[in-house]
Amino acid sequence: MLGLVMVVFFVAAPRLAAAECPDIPLAVAGPMTGDWAVYGEEMRRGAQLATDDINARGGIGGCKIALMVLDDQGDPATAIAIARAFARDMVRFVVGHYNSGASVPASTIYAKNNTLMVSPASTNPALTEFKLWNVVRTAGRDDVQGTFAGEYMADHFPQGNLAIVSDGTPYGDGLANKARRVLRAKGHPEKLATKIRYDQADFVDLIRKMKAAKIEVVFFAGLGSQLGPLIRQTDEAGLHAQFISGDGAMIKDLTVLAGPAVENTLIVFSPEDRSNPAAANVVTRFRSQGFEPEAYTLKSYAAVQVIARGIEMAGAQAPRLVAAAIRSGKPISTVLGDLTFDAKGDRREPDVMMYVWTKQANGGFSLEPMK
């Protein structure tokens, strides 16, 4: 299969004869190897346990799910190859992909080949703004994060000198533009708006500009791999600004990259799914397996639930009918609580809150929900 790594899981359980109720092929696609493999593992774990649970209850209308796991390595070209392979193999339901750069091009191929995809992680607004019939996501949207960040800055730093810094990618520009619009609408425009290169490592010029503008608060719209060094270099230069960023900064080694200056850095991200009462039993079972269901685990579990419930509501496995049922606005019970989806496939329930990097008694740092 085009040199792609594929692992196929078949859940053994009593079922009707294949001619009466064949298995429903469902694939989870994400970065199972590479820099984002930890998130691919969360996707796989979430989708697998949801599949196991649905099959243990008799499947969907008596039909069992046959789960396939494919590795797109977080690479758009590989994601496109996977999407084409799925179409050839007649897989009509996909949980994935992880990063928007993979999901967006893959979604168009799925749309042309009668395949419904539910992403548990891709937050770029473009994924649903293309208004394809086949896209749904259990994650929120970047522009919601940008709007939330803009409102937070206007409300909590009404007299502060603000800077908005984008990494120049579609992700970064999307967040930055939303935050900028909110600030200007509230009569508190940023004092500095600028971009860096997505691969930039030295921020001397940027810090010089921030010092000249007497910047006190920085909204960084980009990835943690750059936010960390920017925080460190800014602090070392004697400018102790308040940094705020979006979900792209949710990397485990941010404290290593930023050093002690990471303290009080604010991150806009989804609410803690593990604290949702609807997820309590599933979280307990994951932990009993020695696995902590962080980040995208429960959103992937929910993605399988959404597909399964969509098939039940449609009364058929036809992907277009299933997509229409999911987007009908009727609530779907999941580990994230009841979810409803709009006509574009976006969830209607808010999926955003503020977190802060906090120093612990042992000298380390942890990311905690703002109280």
Cβ atoms of 211 and 178 closer than 8 Å: no
First to last CA, the chain: 49
Euclidean distance between CA atoms 266 and 274, whole angstroms:
20
Residue 149 has pLDDT above 90, yes or no: yes
Q: What is the pTM of this model?
A: 0.79
Residue 88: its pLDDT value, please?
83
For residue range 44-53, what is the model confidence (pLDDT) as tens digits? 999 999 999 9
Model confidence at 11: pLDDT above 50: no
Find all residues with CB under 8 Å of 239, minimum gap 6, and list them.
207, 210, 211, 215
Cα–Cα distance for residue pair 211/32, rounded to 1 Å: 42
Q: Note the pLDDT of residue 171.
A: 84
Residue type (1 letter), 200:
Q
Tell me the pLDDT band of 21, cut-offs 50, 70 and 90: confident
- Strand 162-166, strand 135-137: pairing: unpaired
Question: What value does the mean pLDDT take over residues 357-371?
Answer: 92
Instruction: Convert 298-322 to b/e letters by CB count within 10 Å (16 or more is b).
Output: bbbbbbbbbbbbbbebbeebebebb
Nearest 5°: the CA angle 116, 119, 125 is 105
pLDDT digits (tens, 9 = 90+) for 216-238: 999 999 999 999 999 999 999 99
Mean pLDDT value across residues 192-204 = 95
CB 164 within 8 A of CB 219: yes
Q: Please state the rounded mean pLDDT for residues 324-328.
A: 98
Question: Chain-centre distance of CA 4, in angstroms?
Answer: 23
Q: Give the model confidence (pLDDT) of 263-306 as tens digits.
A: 999 999 888 899 999 999 999 999 999 999 998 999 999 999 99
Give the pLDDT band of residue 87 (cuts 50, 70, 90): confident
Q: Which two tokens stand for residue 79?
A: 């994601």
Q: Whole-number mean pLDDT of the chain?
A: 92
